[in-house]
Chains A and B, each alone.
Chain A
Amino acid sequence: MDNDRIDQIIDKHQGEASSLIQVLLEIQTENHWLPKEALERVGEKLQVPLTRIQHIATFYKAFSLVPKGRHEVHICVGTACHVRGATRILDTVEEATGIKPGETDLDLKFSLETVNCLGCCALGPVVEVDGKVHGKMSPVKTAEVLKIYE
């Protein structure tokens, strides 16, 4: 991500230090992770020390300081999904991808995360891949869904 694009995002938020989280969120959404250079640029422009940016980037779950895979798999482990067997769905994905939550595989194909609730509780257990929600999953269905992604 180049500095011009980062500057654009910062300008959109009027360059205020209080919009730090919003700026980081936008960079995260576009770039899928927060490279160190980007954080330095943000710190410089918003006049915020890098330590505070690091604090925020590590405090909030939405941020990643390492590159992500091409497909982000989110397994909902909210209560409704949990009682309907989310753990088994997670096991299936771990088995199929060889990675644990928070990790990315070596081919940069999948990144796996658990999330607390996607608000689709009536369809539990749910799996979200690249923003698309797949509902009423079973281990067998999950394995099939993962095969769609290249």
Chain B
Amino acid sequence: MARLNSPEEVENFRQEILSKRDPNMPCISVCVGAGCIASGADEVIEAFKAQIEKEGLSAKVDTKGTGCPGFCERGPVVVIYPEEICYLQVVVEDVPEIVSQTIKENKVVERLLFVDPVTGEKAIHESDISFYKNQERNVLCNNIKIDSKSIDDYLAIGGYSALTKALSQMTDVEVLEEVKKSNLRGRGGAGFPAGRKWEGSRNAPEPIKYVLVNADEGDPGAFMDRALLEGNPHSILEGLILGGYAIGSHEGYFYVRQEYPLAVENINLAIKQAEEYGLLGENILGSGFDFKVFVHQGAGAFVCGESTALMTSLEGRAGEPRPKYIRSNIKGLWNKPTVLNNVETWANVPLIINKGADWFTQIGTESSKGTKIFSLVGKITNTGLVEVPMGMTLKDIIYKIGGGIPNGKKFKAVQTGGPSGGCIPEELLDLEVGFDELTKAGSMMGSGGMIVLDEDTCMVDVARYFINFLTDESCGKCVPCREGLRQMHRILTNITEGKGKEGDIELLEELAETAVEASLCALGKSAPNPFLSTLRYFRDEYEAHIKEKRCPALSCKELISFYIDPAKCKACGICFKKCPAEAIDGGKKKIHIIDQEKCTKCGTCFEVCPSKFGAVTKISGEPVPPPVPEEERMITKKSKEK
């Protein structure tokens, strides 16, 4: 491939790609994001290729692996174009049927369609699925349309047109002004206006400047950046080049966490392709603008998602944050002005340049513009990535898109903002999502993790879990964070183990206040949030643990016991067979009994007991009833007695 030397050449080349493609040619696209691969997408795509070849259809049908459309739970996801028929949870055995029915006969394989959990209706097209229908997918929408390893695919859907537009029609200042006008706020957590950050760096006197992509998506439960990095790497790269152009930087870096090997691979490939096409490197498209991009892998440290720690790590040192008397957009990487934005923020930039700031500001609320991708996970029916306009209520996200809580359970809270975020209870579900709205409710936007918790989740345990996470990830520089969190974790663990005592809550509050006041970086400052927000909304649960030694959610291992209700046990023997601790005493037609001494409380018996019996129950805060006396353990069939 020869280098493209001007914006016109890019447009001509795009037309050339399009002219070679037949939009009516059937195309089987299989999601090959990390989620679907875990569910066997690799095998499925190979099976499609083999089947197509076997049937002699290679010239007539295209097969490709695409990026993640976000519905990972129902993966592998297969979409057949041009009809856009969407099949879920496809396995290798389904492949011959799909090829013979859908490809050859144009018929739909009904059993692989999405069934709406509420209405029971089947959805043929992706756009009919309730999970997708209520979303507004501006950033994520292209993932499913392109092979993420093909730059031609990206060009075919209009990729790099923002770059050609900027280089041919806009000055660097105009690009900056457009981003400023769009009021795009950083998607990584703090929500700082990207345009202002850029302007600061642009105006800094130092001639060497850097632009960085924060792809160290450390928040557990958030995976939108992974989906973008794997599924549409060029969109992020295009945003980064535009950023470099706007602030006058000639060097960019991707800082990608090492846990995402596929993302690293795809980004490296995208850079190589863009260099070959002349979209990166020296004198990009004949504009005189030089820009190079490098990839740096993280090595497993959550704190490196923090801006200054990330830069220290990029310099090849241990990632510890530094005080920010001078912002990093003035003095950042190697003490040079550095703009660091999150993956999703960069991916929004080409859209803003292409469609204009006025288009962007139409979406969203007064202070939060555009769309935001959330990862809706936990105890929710439709799990996956959702992109919605800012200002949608939590209720709509959880019920309209997420389909509510599965298994007839009751909603308890939604945890947003990653480990340092907070839990939002049911009474606040009408809250409109936005940077400032979530902060007011005691939580935060964070990177957009949204973990739904149901009645089975213990809120004290949730707080303990996050504090434990942050204790582990604290870099150790500031004492209130390093030592304070450790003590908070101890106290919280005691509470969940039934060893809580009067005064624990007050002590926790004091430790929390100190960490908030006296830590250097956002990790320490926001670390007590999970405790503070759960205490604010679920104080009764803390008190039940401490005063009654009872876990209301029946979740804390040390405070619950498993018990087989003798009136309900039908001696089916399933729990007896499955119990890994051999703690169940059973026998034919004999009421089963759990030996409390041997029980490890793994919950297997509770899970395997057939729901029509429902004999295994959890007990907390009260003693376990004594076992049934041996002579009463035989089950006699009541119907025969009558």
Seen from chain A, the residues whose Cβ lies within 8 Å of a Cβ on chain B are 16-22, 24-25, 52, 55-56, 59-63, 77-85, 88, 91-92, 95, 115-124, 126, 131-135, 138-140, 143
Which residues of B (277-323) have their CB < 8 Å from a CB of A?
A: 296-302, 313-319
A88-B72 contact, Cβ under 8 Å, with A83-B378, A83-B451, A95-B580: no
Considering the chains assembled together, what is the distance between the CA atoms of A53 and B71 in angstroms? 42
Considering the chains assembled together, what is the distance between the CA atoms of A106 and B333 in angstroms? 44
Whether the pair B37, A133 counts as a contact (CB closer than 8 A) is yes
Which residues of B (428-469) have their CB < 8 Å from a CB of A?
A: 449, 451, 453, 457, 462, 465-466, 469
> Which of B318, B473, B578 has the most chain A CB atoms closer than 10 A to its own CB?
B318
Q: Which residue of A lies closest to B38 (CB)?
A: A133
13 contacts between A and B (CB under 8 A): A16-B316, A18-B316, A25-B297, A61-B299, A79-B419, A81-B220, A116-B469, A117-B220, A120-B34, A121-B220, A121-B377, A122-B71, A122-B384
Whether the pair B316, A92 counts as a contact (CB closer than 8 A) is no
Considering the chains assembled together, what is the distance between the CA atoms of A56 and B415 in angstroms? 33
Q: Which of these binds chain A: B206-214, B232-240, B482-490, B599-607?
A: B599-607
On chain A, the residues within 8 Å of B453 by CB distance are: 83
B217 within 8 A of A: yes
Whether the pair B72, A139 counts as a contact (CB closer than 8 A) is no
Whether the pair B301, A60 counts as a contact (CB closer than 8 A) is yes
CB distance from A130 to the nearest CB of B (A): 12
Interface string of B245-280 (1 = CB under 8 A from A): 000000000000011110000000000000000000
CB distance from A26 to the nearest CB of B (A): 9
B130 within 8 A of A: no
Considering the chains assembled together, what is the distance between the CA atoms of A124 and B465 in angstroms? 16
On chain A, the residues within 8 Å of B329 by CB distance are: none
Q: Which residue of A lies closest to B226 (CB)?
A: A119
Interface residues of A, dominant DSSP? helix
Q: Which residue of A lies closest to B71 (CB)?
A: A122
On chain A, the residues within 8 Å of B299 by CB distance are: 21, 24-25, 56, 60-63
A59-B377 contact, Cβ under 8 Å, with A79-B415, A121-B221, A123-B73: no
> Which of B34, B378, B384, B453 has the most chain A CB atoms closer than 10 A to its own CB?
B378
Considering the chains assembled together, what is the distance between the CA atoms of A119 and B258 in angstroms? 12
On chain B, the residues within 8 Å of A22 by CB distance are: 296-297
Seen from chain B, the residues whose Cβ lies within 8 Å of a Cβ on chain A are 34-35, 37-39, 71-73, 75, 217-223, 226, 258-261, 296-302, 313-319, 375, 377-379, 383-384, 415, 419, 449, 451, 453, 457, 462, 465-466, 469, 473, 475, 578, 580, 600, 602-604, 607
CB distance from B603 to the nearest CB of A (A): 6
The residue that A55 contacts in the complex, of B318, B449, B451, B603, with Cβ under 8 A, is: B318
Considering the chains assembled together, what is the distance between the CA atoms of A19 and B576 in angstroms? 56
A82-B465 contact, Cβ under 8 Å, with A25-B258, A122-B72, A122-B384: yes
Whether the pair A117, B219 counts as a contact (CB closer than 8 A) is yes
Instruction: Give the tally of cross-chain contacts (CB within 8 A).
Output: 151
The residue that B317 contacts in the complex, of A56, A62, A140, with Cβ under 8 A, is: A56
Whether the pair B37, A122 counts as a contact (CB closer than 8 A) is no
Considering the chains assembled together, what is the distance between the CA atoms of A49 and B222 in angstroms? 37
Q: Which residue of A lies closest to B301 (CB)?
A: A60
Whether the pair B301, A83 counts as a contact (CB closer than 8 A) is no
Whether the pair A122, B35 counts as a contact (CB closer than 8 A) is yes
CB distance from B327 to the nearest CB of A (A): 22
A59-B419 contact, Cβ under 8 Å, with A25-B297, A92-B602, A139-B580: no
A122-B377 contact, Cβ under 8 Å, with A78-B221, A88-B602, A140-B604: yes
> Which of B226, B301, B314, B377 has the most chain A CB atoms closer than 10 A to its own CB?
B377
Considering the chains assembled together, what is the distance between the CA atoms of A59 and B602 in angstroms? 33
Considering the chains assembled together, what is the distance between the CA atoms of A119 and B37 in angstroms? 12
9 further contact pairs, Cβ within 8 A, besides A117-B220, A123-B72, A140-B578: A60-B298, A62-B258, A79-B221, A79-B377, A79-B419, A116-B218, A117-B222, A121-B375, A132-B38
Whether the pair A79, B580 counts as a contact (CB closer than 8 A) is no
CB distance from B176 to the nearest CB of A (A): 29
CB distance from B257 to the nearest CB of A (A): 9
Considering the chains assembled together, what is the distance between the CA atoms of A95 and B575 in angstroms? 19
Whether the pair B221, A21 counts as a contact (CB closer than 8 A) is no
Whether the pair A62, B300 counts as a contact (CB closer than 8 A) is yes
On chain B, the residues within 8 Å of A78 by CB distance are: 220-221
Whether the pair B419, A126 counts as a contact (CB closer than 8 A) is no
Whether the pair B451, A80 counts as a contact (CB closer than 8 A) is yes
Whether the pair B318, A59 counts as a contact (CB closer than 8 A) is yes
On chain A, the residues within 8 Å of B314 by CB distance are: 18
CB distance from A19 to the nearest CB of B (A): 6
On chain A, the residues within 8 Å of B378 by CB distance are: 79-80, 83-84
Q: Which residue of B lies closest to A134 (CB)?
A: B38
Q: Which residue of A lies closest to B303 (CB)?
A: A59
Whether the pair B607, A138 counts as a contact (CB closer than 8 A) is yes
On chain A, the residues within 8 Å of B315 by CB distance are: 18
Considering the chains assembled together, what is the distance between the CA atoms of A81 and B383 in angstroms? 12
On chain B, the residues within 8 Å of A143 by CB distance are: 580
Whether the pair B220, A59 counts as a contact (CB closer than 8 A) is no
CB distance from A55 to the nearest CB of B (A): 5
Considering the chains assembled together, what is the distance between the CA atoms of A33 and B592 in angstroms? 49
Considering the chains assembled together, what is the distance between the CA atoms of A83 and B458 in angstroms? 9
On chain A, the residues within 8 Å of B219 by CB distance are: 117
CB distance from B592 to the nearest CB of A (A): 18
Considering the chains assembled together, what is the distance between the CA atoms of A123 and B383 in angstroms? 8
Considering the chains assembled together, what is the distance between the CA atoms of A55 and B299 in angstroms? 13
Whether the pair A80, B221 counts as a contact (CB closer than 8 A) is yes
CB distance from B384 to the nearest CB of A (A): 5
On chain A, the residues within 8 Å of B318 by CB distance are: 55-56, 59-60
On chain A, the residues within 8 Å of B223 by CB distance are: 117, 119-121
CB distance from A146 to the nearest CB of B (A): 13
Whether the pair B217, A119 counts as a contact (CB closer than 8 A) is yes
